[in-house]
Amino acid sequence: MNPVNAVRPTTAEERDARTARNGGAPTLEFGRKVPYDAYVHASTLHTLQRTLSGDPGEMSFLVVSQIMELYFKLIRHELEQARDHVRADQMWEALAPLKRAALHLEGLNAAWQTLRWMTPADFNKFRDLLGEGSGFQSAMYRQVEFLLGLRTKSLMRPHKGTAAYDELEAALHQPSLWDEVIALLARHGYDLKPELLDRDVADEHEAEQSVSDAWVRVYRDTSPENHLRLLGEALTEVADRFGDWRYLHLKAVQRTMGAKSGSGGSSGLAFLQRSMSRPVFPELWTSRTEM
């Protein structure tokens, strides 16, 4: 790290002394680099909004898209933390990143609200300039899907020959969060089909009755020390909020372009409707019928 751009750590004592010297006012002189910018890199972030048209509404579309990309990265980070805890039998520790992931998904979903002004006429003012660019090409979103257990290998192909492809390839061959949860159930004595633990994790998991039966047993134990039940509810919250994301995405597309073909070559609305039919953590939902 360049020393000029480094954030200098301080202690509570230093902060109190500075406040006393300043008489309670903020420090206004920092030399060559403002500490906030050294940490957040806001001056870099604000150079990344490069619109393609003269339409003022395009800035909203671009900034919200970038905000969503940052949320995807944050959600991936939390889901990776949760997966590592589950793999290590640390159910209690897995709850915090899952709760954060659910809250980040709420923030992600709220971002759709700021595009509700956009009509087809508004979108058409700059849509052609986007060429074949489409949100389904987001490598970071695909990373989130892989972690949740949604694995469509063909959707990696737009990134062939890039560093993003290598990262997706590596993620594809690692167990998803749900794969690790299933392995956790097996380690805790639940009777699951053996092939579930030996399958190729690059293939998408499909709902299996023995996993659903295990969750019925988990939920019937209402004792406070049943951390598996708490884990199930934290996972359900993530799946629920992710379902909200998919629905809001579909509604945003329906609002701005109806059933027209998608920019990236898909059928647009119909493609999103098919995607929504693949549930996240399927046995958490099928087991509820039997509870």
- Known binding-site residues for heme equal 249
Residue type, position 113, single letter: Q
Residues 6+ apart with CB under 8 A from 106: 241
The closest alpha carbon to 62, from 127, 147, 136, belongs to: 127
Exposure of 282 in the CB half-sphere (CA atoms within 13 A): 15
Residues 6+ apart with CB under 8 A from 266: 134, 136
Helices (H), 173-226: 177-187, 195-198, 209-220
Q: Give 103: exposed, middle or buried? Use CB within 10 Å, 0-12, 13-18, 19+.
A: middle
Annotated binding site: 127, 249
Annotated binding site for substrate: 127
